[in-house]
Structure 1
C-alpha cells in the first residue's frame, strides 16, 4: 500500500504541475473571460482517464503505470476526470439514477460549499 501511495503521489505531482502550467500558459494564447484553462484541463483530463481506463492492463500498461496515470496524474490534473469516470461506471452498472443524483448533488453542493467558504472568509 505504501508503494501505491508513493506512485499516486508521483502522478499527482506531475498532474498538478501540468495543471499549473496549462493555467498559466493557455490564457497567454487565448484571451477570454471564459475560464478556458480550467475548462481545457477538465476536458483533457476526462479524455485521458477515459482512454487509460479502457486500455487493457495486459500488454499496454502495467497496473503500477495505470495507477500513476489515472489516480495520480489525472487526479492531480483534475478531479473532474475522476468524477466523470465514476459516473460512467455507475451508468455502465445500470445505476442511472445514482449517477444523476451524484452529478446534481456534487454540482449543487460543490457550488454551495464554494459560496459558504467565501462568506466565511469575508466574515473573518
Structure 2
C-alpha cells in the first residue's frame, strides 16, 4: 500500500509544481521553483512533526504527503528536513558538510548534464 501512496502523491506533487510554475514563473526568474522549494520545506517540516512525532498521520498518509507529494513537488524539502534534523541532533558540522557537498555536487551535476546535452545538438 505504501507504493501506491507514494505514486499517487508523487503525481499530485508534480502537477502542483507544474501549476505553480505556470502561475508564478517570470522570464529569467524561476519564482515558481523558489516558491515550491520554500513552501515544500515548510510543509515537510509540518508533516514530519504530524507524522513522525505526534502520530497524527497514519504511516500511509505520511508516505502519501511527505514522500509522494513533497517528493513530486520538490526534493529540496527533504534536503531541508535532513539538514535541520542534523542540527536538531547537535550534528551542526555534519549538517554543514551535507549542505556544502549537496550544493557543490548538485551544481556540478547540473553543469555536467548541460555540457553533455550540448554535445549532442
> Shared topology, TM-score over 0.5?
yes
Structure 1 SS opposite 2:96: helix
Give matches, 1:81-96, under 5 Å: 81-96=77-92
Residue in structure 2 matching 1:17, options 15, 19, 25: 15
Paired with 1:66 and 1:118, the residues of 2 have a C-alpha distance of: 35
TM-score scaled to structure 2, two decimals? 0.90
Give the structure 2 partner of residue 50 of structure 1.
45
Paired with 1:115 and 1:47, the residues of 2 have a C-alpha distance of: 28
Q: Which runs of 5+ in 1 are unaligned?
A: none
Give the structure 2 partner of residue 70 of structure 1.
66
TM-score scaled to structure 1, two decimals? 0.88
Q: Is residue 107 from structure 1 mapped to residue 103 from structure 2 by the alignment?
A: yes
RMSD: 1.2
Give the structure 1 partner of residue 29 of structure 2.
34
Residue in structure 2 matching 1:4, options 2, 5, 8: 2
Kindly state the Cα deviation for residue 32 of structure 1 after the two structures are TM-superposed: 5.8
Q: Which runs of 5+ in 2 are unaligned?
A: none
Paired with 1:97 and 1:36, the residues of 2 have a C-alpha distance of: 31
- Give the total of aligned pairs: 117
Moved beyond 4 Å, runs of 4+: none
